[in-house]
Structure 1
Amino acid sequence: MLKYVNTGVVFQEIPDEVTLSINLSNCPCHCPGCHSQYLWKDIGTPLSVSALSRMVHEYGHDITCICFMGGDAEPEYIDMLARYLHSEFPHLKTGWYSGRQRISPKIDKHNFDYIKVGPYIRHLGCLKDPTTNQRLYKRDRSGDFKDITMKFWRKTV
């Protein structure tokens, strides 16, 4: 069963959204230089539909998006949770930060509004670095995904 370790309302993970980020454990990616190595362990509280629903009711008026931070060990379960959110809470957007280079073909990407792919590679940097290999995609009105990674890059004056 997928487990979460903690949550937080954040403003930087998904551009232009107030996001409830849910940090998931048992990450199989083990990226060298990972800033959240504690999430490699199988620890935390089971992330059930009822637990997710409680979170939405607790934070629902303060957030516009829910982002799953990890979950690569159980991508089909993440997909089910995103489908549930869109069905039960259509006003909320859904995001997924995956450490994989590609999303599993078993996933319906259209259950997500945002998807980040790519392992952390220290010498390439994270999303805020123009040299990063990681990419954040946003689903547009036509259903296509557009790379919005550049929204993380600082503009110089």
Structure 2
Amino acid sequence: MPMRYAHIDVVHQEVPGEISLCFSITGCPLRCMGCHSPHTWKAGSGKLLTAPHYQKLLQQYQGFASCILFMGGEWHPETLINYLKEARQLGYATCLYTGENSVAPMILQQLTYVKLGPWIPNLGGLNNTKTNQQFIEVSTGKKLNHLFIAHDKIKHRTSQ
């Protein structure tokens, strides 16, 4: 089944230090309880993300966006890998947000960053120090969750 998307947005918070062109891919098989995007669950929904359309967007946003972000899509590994390679060839950083705890090595090789871990409501997201999720810089393996925590929370936590 071809890759489809619910929407494409320019986002500023999902990848710290980057302006990201974000593709919300449909057909997510994970269905995490409390998911903020249940509209992406249905396979076959959304618009087709064709190679020509994707390439046009990469060209259009070059020099403005610095990162290409896929919210899901790992269930289309060949297409995702090809799209990530194209983005990297044009100088974009790349990122995948997944609810899985790991990503196939072939996908990981094409990523600058990866967000791993399912949404667990009582643990919160990347902006919560108790989260199970991890935001990782792939080349170094460095966990960068601290970039999502407000400075006042860090001060409060370290002063106790």
Using the TM superposition, give the Cα deviation of residue 52 of structure 1 relative to its aligned residue in structure 2, in angstroms. Answer: 1.3
Identity of aligned residues (%): 30
Q: Decide which of 141, 144, 154 is 1:145's aligned counterpart.
A: 141
Question: Paired residue for 1:101?
Answer: 101
Question: Paired residue for 2:14?
Answer: 13
> Where does 1:1-157 land on structure 2 (aligned, <5 Å)?
1-42=2-43, 43-87=45-89, 89=90, 91-105=91-105, 107-139=106-138, 143-156=139-152, 157=155
The ranges of structure 1 where at least 4 consecutive aligned residues each deviate by more than 3 angstroms after the TM superposition are none
Using the TM superposition, give the Cα deviation of residue 108 of structure 1 relative to its aligned residue in structure 2, in angstroms. Answer: 4.1
In 2, Cα distance between equivalents of 1:108 and 1:29: 18
After TM superposition, the structure 1 stretch with the greater mean CA deviation from structure 2, 50-59 or 60-69, is 50-59
- The aligned amino acid for 1:153 is I
In 2, Cα distance between equivalents of 1:70 and 1:134: 15
**Residues 28, 72 of structure 1: 8 Å contact kept:** no
**Residues 80, 107 of structure 2: 8 Å contact kept:** no
How many residues are treated as equivalent by the alignment? 151
The 3-state SS of whatever aligns with 2:7 is: strand
In structure 1, runs of 5+ residues without a counterpart are none
- The aligned amino acid for 1:102 is S
**Residues 3, 44 of structure 1: 8 Å contact kept:** yes
> Could you state the TM-score of these two structures normalised by the residue count of structure 2?
0.88
Using the TM superposition, give the Cα deviation of residue 104 of structure 1 relative to its aligned residue in structure 2, in angstroms. Answer: 2.2
In 2, Cα distance between equivalents of 1:78 and 1:98: 13
Using the TM superposition, give the Cα deviation of residue 38 of structure 1 relative to its aligned residue in structure 2, in angstroms. Answer: 0.3
Using the TM superposition, give the Cα deviation of residue 61 of structure 1 relative to its aligned residue in structure 2, in angstroms. Answer: 2.5
In 1, Cα distance between equivalents of 2:17 and 2:146: 13
**Residues 72, 100 of structure 1: 8 Å contact kept:** no
